[in-house]
Amino acid sequence: MISVNPVYIPKLVLIGVGLIGGSLLKVLQKENAVGEVVGVGRGVENLQLAHSMGVIDRFTHDAAEAVQEADMVVIATPVGAFETILEQILPHLKKDAIVTDVGSVKGEIVLAARRVLGTQIDQFVPAHPIAGSENSGVMAAMVNLFVDHNVIITPLPETRTEFRSVVEQMWRLTEARIVEMDIDLHDQVLGVTSHLPHVIVFALIDYLSRQDKQALHYQFAAGGLYDLTRIASSDARMWSDICMNNKDKLIPIIRGYAQDLMQMADQIEADEGDKLIKEFEQAKLARGRVADYRK
Amino acid sequence: MISVNPVYIPKLVLIGVGLIGGSLLKVLQKENAVGEVVGVGRGVENLQLAHSMGVIDRFTHDAAEAVQEADMVVIATPVGAFETILEQILPHLKKDAIVTDVGSVKGEIVLAARRVLGTQIDQFVPAHPIAGSENSGVMAAMVNLFVDHNVIITPLPETRTEFRSVVEQMWRLTEARIVEMDIDLHDQVLGVTSHLPHVIVFALIDYLSRQDKQALHYQFAAGGLYDLTRIASSDARMWSDICMNNKDKLIPIIRGYAQDLMQMADQIEADEGDKLIKEFEQAKLARGRVADYRK
């Protein structure tokens, strides 16, 4: 049986053994908050690595087999794989097992969970730890990845209160801040503050790489652009998956932003330097507000 | 008389006493490469500060008076002020005085120099040290600001060879790399690698600040967006000035980039995840090439 205070999860199954799941498990192992841990994935090498790191006790490619007798299932795969995995595990899932995830998009995930889980939707606690690194994979997992980062929980009306408490207590062990948020608001705010910036930077580097005298552009980008473009080293497949699964929010966000850029070009063309100064000053003030949240 | 090896400039006039000029002068003072230094500016407090820092020996508001007997005039004002300053100083400028600048845009500056200087255009050595900080003003000046940074010299066909050598030798004292470049190419490459990224980030923060639940957006931007948006703390007036003065290059650059973003939104809408993955992977590779230039 799971206990809440202190958190103890006798059997945990991690589906998708990467940076996020690996880092969470490192904390749970360190805090003796977990018993048996089974890793589920496709790549044998990655699973063997996780095993040798002590992140998981054993591994399998068969999610259905793995979740039998599990007290908690953490799904840490790309968002697009979520529904298929739920279909695989549902027939073997205990009625008092907690299902949670770490997906960067919540709307599509919850829709998929409702479709597959039916009345068992009350077992699902949607969660999104906001942390990452330009290095991905379980090899990059670290015990302090979530310290002072936000973990957003977007509980459903049906989510069992005690399950939500377990997931929150589990994440508290990582020294993250727990924030509860509405699903729709999550996808909008993360669309603007995370998904849009990734799209912007991927597009900027793409644009740069298509210029004549490419090498010269790389050379001069290496100064000011280096910090700016760090997130373009993130996993391409994962970010495409996130964009596709938050399309309803993200498409108008990207278009709205691109229109703002077009407007700035128009202002420059119309010699409206004063308007540009005002917008840049506004941005500088707003950036100060962003920086305040670092303290 | 100016000497080249080692560089020694008996009288130098710095017009526009800020981060760039102040940092250059700190190096020249440290290397005993300069005699008398006169600072020209509008704000008394700033000039007094520069004087008390030892960056300048005396100051005046009168550029015309200052440049009499000067061996070198360094114009470090916003690009938009360049032409007026040249008009003020020309009648008092020695025929063997070197005029150089630090402007981020070269095309407009050279056009202005040709208009004003006439046959004396051979005294002008256009230069652009690529360095900066989100802190501006002479207070932020530092002796190592240019170390391992690029200083681009865009000499004109008329530029006197010995003058070009003096300016290059002067900048070598800062431990910067000296790069010679065509004016047009400079404005295009800097438009893509510096001006566009500033516009992108100013626009992103503006966009963020206009969202509902602004504070929540600031809070979540404080994680991943913090590095990305550092350049939005740059001086708004200066960056507007740069954009306006590189408009011929920058407008098509901004529009081309915004169209790329629109295309990405279209691809997401059309469920073309594969195209998106390819573009993101391409960006990741290109970012690696940018990173290579850091070594």
Domain containing residue B41:
9-181
Percent of chain A predicted with pLDDT > 70: 99
Nearest Cα residue in chain A from B217:
A189
Cβ contacts below 8 Å, chain A against chain B, sum to 294
Q: Domain end: B138, B158, B181, which one? A: B181
**Which residues, including other chains, have CB under 8 Å from residue A277's CB and lie 6 or more apart?**
B236, B237, B240
* B194 in the same domain as B134: no
* A20 residue type, one letter: I
* Reported confidence tier of residue A282, pLDDT bands at 50, 70, 90: very high
Whether pLDDT at B164 is above 80: yes
* A192 in the same domain as A125: no
Q: What are residue B180's DSSP bridge partners?
A: B153
> What phi and psi values does residue B10 have, to the nearest 5 degrees?
-60, -45
Interface test with B, best of A241, A250, A262, A268 (most B CBs within 10 A): A268
Whether pLDDT at B24 is above 80: yes
Question: Strands (DSSP E) along chain A, which ranges?
Answer: 9-15, 34-40, 58-60, 72-75, 98-101, 124-125, 127-129, 150-153, 177-180
Q: What is the dihedral of CA A170, A172, A173, A175, to 10 degrees?
A: 150
Q: Which helix (H) or strand (E) holds A236?
A: helix A236-245
Backbone CA torsion sign across B157, B159, B165, B170: negative
Task: Test A130 with B243 for CB contact under 8 angstroms.
Answer: no
CATH number at residue A262: 1.10.3660.10
* B49 in the same domain as B175: yes
Q: Domain end: B132, B147, B181, which one? A: B181
Chain B residue numbers touching A192 (CB-CB < 8 A)? 207-208, 211, 217
Mean pLDDT (whole number) for A228-246: 89
Q: Is A103 among the domain residues?
A: yes
| pLDDT tens readout for residues B37-79 | 999 999 999 999 999 999 999 999 999 999 999 999 999 999 9
* A210 residue type, one letter: R
A280 part of contact set with chain B, CB < 8 Å: yes
Query: How far is residue A245's CA from residue A227's CA, in Å, rounded to a whole number?
Result: 27
Q: Is A78 among the domain residues?
A: yes
Instruction: Sort strands B127-129 and B150-153 into parallel, antiparallel or unpaired.
Output: antiparallel
| pLDDT tens readout for residues A67-99 | 999 999 999 999 999 999 999 999 999 999 999
pLDDT, position A221: 86
* B207 in the same domain as B155: no
Closest CA to B171 of B9, B12, B24, B16: B24
**Which residues, including other chains, have CB under 8 Å from residue B124's CB and lie 6 or more apart?**
B99, B100, B110, B113, B117, B156, B159
* B233 in the same domain as B120: no
pLDDT, position B295: 60
Indicate the residue of A130, A206, A226 with minimum beta-carbon distance to B283. A206
* A153 in the same domain as A70: yes
Chain B residue numbers touching A234 (CB-CB < 8 A)? 284
* A166 in the same domain as A194: no
CB A97 within 8 A of CB A120: no
Query: How far is residue A98's CA from residue B72's CA, in Å, rounded to a whole number?
Result: 74
Interface test with A, best of B133, B151, B193, B229 (most A CBs within 10 A): B193
The Cα angle at residue B267 between residues A41 and B260, in degrees rounded to 5: 115
> What phi and psi values does residue A164 have, to the nearest 5 degrees?
-60, -40
Shortest distance between the Cα of B216 and any Cα of chain A, in A, equals: 7
**Which residues, including other chains, have CB under 8 Å from residue A1's CB and lie 6 or more apart?**
A10, A71
pLDDT, position A16: 96
Q: Is B46 among the domain residues?
A: yes
Indicate the residue of A203, A260, A268 with minimum beta-carbon distance to B257. A203
pLDDT, position A36: 98
Indicate the residue of A193, A211, A232 with minimum beta-carbon distance to B284. A232
Percent of chain A predicted with pLDDT > 90: 86
Query: How far is residue B161's CA from residue B183's CA, in Å, rounded to a whole number?
Result: 17
Interface test with A, best of B196, B259, B261 (most A CBs within 10 A): B261
pLDDT, position B151: 97
The better pLDDT of the pair B284, B133 is held by: B284
| pLDDT tens readout for residues A156-194 | 999 999 999 999 999 999 999 999 999 999 999 999 999
CA B276 to chain centroid, in Å, comes to 35
B133 part of contact set with chain A, CB < 8 Å: no
* B171 in the same domain as B215: no
Query: How far is residue B234's CA from residue B199's CA, in Å, rounded to a whole number?
Result: 11
Task: Test A209 with B286 for CB contact under 8 angstroms.
Answer: yes
Closest CA to A196 of B216, B250, B217: B217
Mean pLDDT (whole number) for B8-36: 97
* B280 in the same domain as B265: yes
Query: Up-side HSE of residue B9: CA atoms within 13 Å toward CB?
Result: 32
pLDDT, position B65: 96
DSSP state letters, B62-88 = -HHHHTTT-SEEEE-S-GGGHHHHHHH
Whether pLDDT at B226 is above 90: no
Q: Which two tokens stand for residue A208?
A: 């740069």
B105 part of contact set with chain A, CB < 8 Å: no
pLDDT, position B170: 98
* A210 in the same domain as A143: no
Shortest distance between the Cα of B265 and any Cα of chain A, in A, equals: 5
Chain A residue numbers touching B216 (CB-CB < 8 A)? 185, 189
Q: Is A2 among the domain residues?
A: no
| Coil/strand/helix, residue B108 | helix
Q: Is B81 among the domain residues?
A: yes
The Cα angle at residue B107 between residues B102 and B108, in degrees rounded to 5: 85
Indicate the residue of B219, B282, B293 with minimum beta-carbon distance to A293. B219
Interface of A with B in 215-274 (CB under 8 A): 215-234, 236-237, 239-241, 243-244, 247, 250-251, 254-262, 264-265, 268-269, 271, 273
Query: How far is residue B91's CA from residue B67's CA, in Å, rounded to a whole number?
Result: 10
**A57-66: burial string, b at 16+ Cβ within 10 Å, e else:** eebeeebbeb
Q: Is B131 among the domain residues?
A: yes
DSSP state letters, A62-110 = -HHHHTTT-SEEEE-S-GGGHHHHHHHHGGG--TT-EEEE--S--HHHH
* B118 in the same domain as B28: yes
Whether pLDDT at B2 is above 80: yes
> What phi and psi values does residue A174 have, to the nearest 5 degrees?
-85, 0
Q: Domain end: B181, B197, B230, which one? A: B181
* Reported confidence tier of residue B228, pLDDT bands at 50, 70, 90: confident
Query: How far is residue A168's CA from residue A248's CA, in Å, rounded to a whole number?
Result: 28
CA distances from B44 to B18, B25, B26 (A): 13, 19, 20
pLDDT, position A293: 85
pLDDT, position A295: 60
Whether pLDDT at A229 is above 70: yes
Nearest Cα residue in chain B from A282:
B206
How many domains would you assign to chain A? 2
